[in-house]
Amino acid sequence: MCGITGYVGSRQVAPILVEALGYLEYRGYDSAGIAVLHDNKIDISRSIGKVSSLKFLVQQKKVEGQIGLGHTRWATHGQPSEKNAHPHSDCHGKIVVVHNGIIDGHMELKKVLENEGHIFSSQTDSEVLAHLIEKYYDGDLSVAVGKVLKNILGSYSLGVMHVDHPGLLVVARHQSPLLVGCGDNENFISSDIRAILSQTRRIIFLEDQEMASLTAKDIHIETIDGKKIDRKPHFVEESLEQSEKNGYDHFMLKEIFEQPTAIKRTLESRVFEDKKSGLLSVDMGFDEEEIKNIKNIVIVSCGTSWHAGLIARRYIEKLCKIPVSVEYAAEFRYNEPLIDRKTLVIGISQSGETADTLAAIREAKKYGSRIIALCNVVGSSLSREADRTIYTYAGPEIGVASTKAFTCQLTLLYLLALDLAYKNKQMDGDEVSKCIMKIQGITASIEKSLSTENLDKIKHISCKYSQSRNFLYLGRGSGFAIALEGALKLKEISYIHAEGYHAGEMKHGPIALIDKNMPVVVLALKGRRYDKILANIAEIKARDGKVIAIATEGDDAIVELTDEVIYVPDVDRFMTPLVAVIPLQLLSYYIAFQRNCDVDQPRNLAKSVTVE
Ligand code: F6R
């Protein structure tokens, strides 16, 4: 993962780099560092922990200079330590490198370089790059970088500086994101738009196997084989305002509360009213001929986005009668998938930078399948590699635990299913319109779930159970996917072991775990499986387990059967996942809060998982 940034111009570089790293921190936060070139010397400042520690160090040192590189790290090779923090340099401290990605076979490369006399000072794969550039350097930095990149395998977004070229940054990308920000007599690089949005809105996206040489006045782009590329900058309109906490204690809480607005925005991007008939319809850009040719759909994604895929399968199969499989992106390319030109592959990803999801869609392309990306970040790698992108308009999601992106994904996947069903002649315009009206009403139901009364109840339950060592989450149907999502939310931000399980599978093993110390969160919403869920609740209570039920408003009887009840509004069966997940997000948030955990930046995690 990791985030990189860089600047060349006439302003003091250190504050610019540190500010950008603050925005990139979501990509990794176990250490951070900057390198600044000044007076023929490169000064490196690195510190373990978050960017705030680096900021303090840089202010103390009064780092000066007008060209530099920065990095925030999520450890892959070598533990989080100052030595393993970037930037890394060559043997003589003349070349520095910041790198996001993984260099394949770096151990062998390191051995060869050590035999040639190079001295390594870290355990990282990235340091190999600095020594390789040193080896190939013959007076022209970009030629040396190009030679190295042609001789290595793996993924990289890379920034390089050399003392002999005091006004030059050489950067490159392959399978890790990198963009160039164009200023007036100054230029920037970054892993992500938002990190440099306060400086410039003119952005050039680099593609795989491209490199750029940046001076304050010039940007020269070429492939690593030396083919010149002429690319104009995009003007980016995204607002930075959404990246502030606006009075909330954490981004996660703010993002939970933003869900009604985010869903509304997502709906508005795709829903239209027919002026003549007054019917609502949706257009995802498919044409009828295209849909006729779809034999099956494969969804590839990871984590929370994979949970959205599980629910999407129900939407699509039930409404459009097209078979869907939902694959872990990390497994997909190793499974010799049974797909072809008649398979529609949908990659779901909030960030659009998840390495496994990108690898999965690249694999699918080899079979000739059509690729649709469902993505939140405009201009991300996934959106650029897919045949077409359908955006969720959740706005920037900063908290590592995904919340509003998930509910926006569900919203869009439901609309996608409606569009396919209509064009596949499984639903008529009237039916589609009624379904759209129902999903439009979901924002009011979510607002209700976020009422003060509900929050107080969830806070109370959180206090009661925050010291539990384990949690079980059970559900059936789409409630099973929500149970998985609830358990993931809890474990990632509170470090409590939590397991999501199909309620019907409990008796095949996990029931052995139940005793008086085991809180079990049960998705017990009214619907076809309700009686079965009540039977599961009885089985838990018979073994002294503590049941926290997520139940449908008006279900008074459930109070007697359980220890705690959190009600959600009674909504259409396709929409229950959207309301049921809200109390689970809040429960995990308040438990993590009680336990004094770092809610927005939990240990060992990063927002975009850009390594496989
Ligand atoms: C959990 C979470 C992760 C992501 C996963 C995929 O709260 O955020 O499980 O869902 O890393 O990320 P994207 O959707 O960016 O591909």
Which string of DSSP letters, residue by residue, matches 333-383? TTS-----TTEEEEEEESSS--HHHHHHHHHHHHTT-EEEEEESSTT-HHH
Determine how β-strand 3-8 pairs with β-strand 67-73.
Answer: antiparallel
Cα 38 from chain centre: 36
On whether both 175 and 272 belong to a single domain, the answer is no
Structure-token match 């970040």, residue found = 377
Query: Which amino acid does the sequence have at 466?
Result: S
Q: Quote the pLDDT of residue 28.
A: 84
Confidence of residue 542 (pLDDT cuts 50, 70, 90): very high
Q: Quote the pLDDT of residue 508.
A: 95
Q: What percent of the chain has pLDDT over 70?
A: 99
On whether both 319 and 381 belong to a single domain, the answer is yes
Q: Per-residue pLDDT tens for 412-431?
A: 999 999 999 999 999 999 99
Any domain includes 51: yes
Q: Quote the pLDDT of residue 599.
A: 94
Q: Quote the pLDDT of residue 270.
A: 93
Q: Quote the pLDDT of residue 379.
A: 76
On whether both 79 and 139 belong to a single domain, the answer is yes
Q: Is 168 left (phi over 0), alpha (psi -120 to 50) or beta?
A: beta
Any domain includes 320: yes
Any domain includes 243: no
Q: Residue 52 contacts by C-beta under 8 Å, 6 or more apart in sequence?
A: none
Ligand 1 atom at minimal distance to the Cα of residue 403: 7
Q: What percent of the chain has pLDDT over 90?
A: 87
**CATH number, domain at 64?**
3.60.20.10
CB-neighbour burial class of residue 209 (10 A; exposed 0-12, middle 13-18, buried 19+): middle
**CATH number, domain at 394?**
3.40.50.10490
CA of 301 to the centre of ligand 1 (A): 9
Pocket flag, ligand 1, residue 383 (CB < 6 Å): no
Any domain includes 28: yes
Pocket flag, ligand 1, residue 190 (CB < 6 Å): no
On whether both 179 and 258 belong to a single domain, the answer is no
Last residue of a domain, one of 394, 415, 440: 440
Question: What counts of helices (H) and strands (E) characterise the chain?
Answer: 20, 29
Ligand 1 atom at minimal distance to the Cα of residue 351: 15
* Protein residue with its CA nearest to atom 5 in ligand 1: 303
Range of the domain at 83: 3-237
Any domain includes 305: yes
Ligand 1 atom at minimal distance to the Cα of residue 405: 14
Last residue of a domain, one of 440, 462, 497: 440
Q: Per-residue pLDDT tens for 480-525?
A: 999 999 999 999 999 999 999 999 999 999 999 999 999 999 999 9
On whether both 434 and 477 belong to a single domain, the answer is no
Structure tokens of 517?
Answer: 């110390």
Q: Residue 237 contacts by C-beta under 8 Å, 6 or more apart in sequence?
A: 201
Cα 265 from chain centre: 20
* Whole-structure pTM value: 0.83
Looking at residues 443-470, what average pLDDT do you find?
96
Pocket flag, ligand 1, residue 399 (CB < 6 Å): no
Pocket flag, ligand 1, residue 357 (CB < 6 Å): yes
CA of 80 to the centre of ligand 1 (A): 22
> What distance in Å separates the CA atoms of residue 91 and residue 120, rounded to the nearest whole number?
7
Q: Quote the pLDDT of residue 242.
A: 64
On whether both 377 and 457 belong to a single domain, the answer is no
One-character DSSP codes across 174-191: EBS--EEEE-SS-EEEES
Cα Rg, the chain, nearest whole Å: 26
Ligand 1 atom at minimal distance to the Cα of residue 354: 16
How many other CB atoms sit within 10 Å of the CB of residue 80? Answer: 16
CA of 400 to the centre of ligand 1 (A): 8
Q: Residue 238 contacts by C-beta under 8 Å, 6 or more apart in sequence?
A: 193, 194, 197, 378, 396
Any domain includes 599: no
Any domain includes 603: no
Among 375, 257, 369, CA closest to 308: 375
> What distance in Å separates the CA atoms of residue 373 and residue 329, rounded to the nearest whole number?
13
Ligand 1 pocket, mutate which of 350, 409, 493, 581 (most atoms under 8 A from CB):
350
Three-class SS of 89-110: ECCCCCEEEEEECCEECHHHHH
On whether both 287 and 349 belong to a single domain, the answer is yes
Structure-token match 């999601």, residue found = 397
On whether both 375 and 271 belong to a single domain, the answer is yes
CA distances, 587 to each of 246, 354, 455, 551, 583 (Å): 21, 27, 9, 15, 6
Looking at every residue in the chain, the average pLDDT score rounds to 95
On whether both 172 and 207 belong to a single domain, the answer is yes
CA of 61 to the centre of ligand 1 (A): 37
Domains identified in the chain, total number: 3
Q: Per-residue pLDDT tens for 126-184?
A: 999 999 999 999 999 999 999 999 999 998 999 999 999 999 999 999 988 899 999 99
With beta carbons less than 8 A apart as the criterion, state whether 525 and 496 touch: no
On whether both 186 and 284 belong to a single domain, the answer is no
Ligand 1 atom at minimal distance to the Cα of residue 401: 7
Pocket flag, ligand 1, residue 492 (CB < 6 Å): yes
Looking at residues 24-42, what average pLDDT do you find?
93
Last residue of a domain, one of 187, 213, 237: 237
On whether both 560 and 471 belong to a single domain, the answer is yes
Pocket flag, ligand 1, residue 89 (CB < 6 Å): no
Any domain includes 365: yes
Instruction: Provide the annotated active-site residues.
Output: 2, 607
How many other CB atoms sit within 10 Å of the CB of residue 525? Answer: 29
Among 24, 12, 126, 125, CA closest to 68: 12
Pocket flag, ligand 1, residue 401 (CB < 6 Å): yes
On whether both 191 and 72 belong to a single domain, the answer is yes
Pocket flag, ligand 1, residue 585 (CB < 6 Å): no
With beta carbons less than 8 A apart as the criterion, state whether 482 and 577 touch: yes
